[in-house]
Copies of this chain bind each other. A is one copy, B any other.
Amino acid sequence: MAYTLSSGSARRPRLNRDAVLAAAVGIADRTGIDGLTMRTLADELGVVPMAIYKHVSGKDELIDGMVDIVWAEVELPDATAGWRSAMRARAVSMRGALSRHRWAVGLMESRMQPGPANLRQHNAMMGCLRESGFSFRNTVHVTSVLDAYVYGFALQEKTLPFDTAEESGQVAEQKRSTQPETAAQDYPYLMEVVVELMRSGYDYTVEFELGLDLILDGIERLRPEWADEAGR
């Protein structure tokens, strides 16, 4: 019976939701979120645009699904390791996911229907902090400052016009030589720092972890104080 029903179009495996989402993530990774249209996605899948609407209600739901794929790539905090190293590992993992999927920066928290991986992640984060003795209020504070830093760093990383330390030098040099000669007079401090950056390079990972440790130190140092109000 099975073979009597299979038609000549058995070439391409039947479309399903996961295949649609995976293809969409691939396109967005390669060409940016603007390069992802229902039409380019359909082309990639070897299908007509309207075929996608059988698996996803529209572009919004498509993006909801893509964002939850990124959330699923973020390591869950392991509370048994202690809150500090759990929070550190989670932040590092999240920055990694966001630099692999730059289109996702700015979308991670903005979806009205948070997906299961998103909920699981936040639940684990709250759980780790609460079990480590943070009050409700301080759990919110810690989440807020760490997430802001991770999102903001990822945003800068997405947004700055170089990817590697070597490229940072090239871009700085190019900018220096492109600017009108007046720039060095009008913005002397800026030029000085740009020239120095060019000389010594810029490593995103080193920079990220330096700031992260500074913030974790701040949380740790303030903790006894915050613990005073632990009942609340």
Chain A interfacial positions (CB closer than 8 Å to B): 105-106, 109-110, 112, 119-120, 122-124, 126-127, 130, 136-137, 139-141, 144-145, 147-156, 158-161, 183, 186-190, 192-193, 196-197, 200, 202, 207, 210-211, 214-215, 217-219, 221-222
* A190→B124 CA distance, assembly (Å): 8
Find out whether the CB atom of A112 lies under 8 angstroms from the CB atom of B197.
no
Q: How far is the CB of A226 from chain B (nearest CB, A)?
A: 10
Q: Given A136-B196, A153-B152, A217-B221, is A123 in contact with B187 using a C-beta cutoff of 8 Å?
A: yes
Find out whether the CB atom of A159 lies under 8 angstroms from the CB atom of B109.
yes
Leading 10 A-B pairs by shortest Cβ distance: A152-B152, A148-B152, A145-B211, A127-B189, A151-B152, A123-B187, A126-B189, A214-B218, A123-B190, A136-B196
* A141→B222 CA distance, assembly (Å): 22
Find out whether the CB atom of A126 lies under 8 angstroms from the CB atom of B156.
no
- Residues in B with CB closer than 8 Å to A155 are 106, 109, 148, 151-152, 155
26 A-B interface contacts by CB (under 8 A): A106-B155, A106-B159, A109-B155, A109-B160, A112-B161, A119-B183, A123-B186, A123-B189, A123-B190, A126-B192, A130-B189, A136-B192, A136-B193, A137-B196, A140-B193, A140-B202, A141-B211, A144-B211, A145-B215, A148-B148, A148-B152, A148-B211, A150-B152, A214-B218, A214-B222, A215-B218
Instruction: Please report whether the interface of chain A is mostly helix, strand, loop or mixed according to DSSP.
Output: helix
Find out whether the CB atom of B147 lies under 8 angstroms from the CB atom of A149.
no
Q: How far is the CB of A230 from chain B (nearest CB, A)?
A: 13
* A110→B156 CA distance, assembly (Å): 8
* A144→B200 CA distance, assembly (Å): 16
Checking B151, B154, B187, B192 against A130 with a beta-carbon cut-off of 8 angstroms, the contacting residue is: B192
- Residues in B with CB closer than 8 Å to A119 are 183, 186-187, 190
* A79→B228 CA distance, assembly (Å): 36
Checking B130, B156, B189 against A144 with a beta-carbon cut-off of 8 angstroms, the contacting residue is: B156
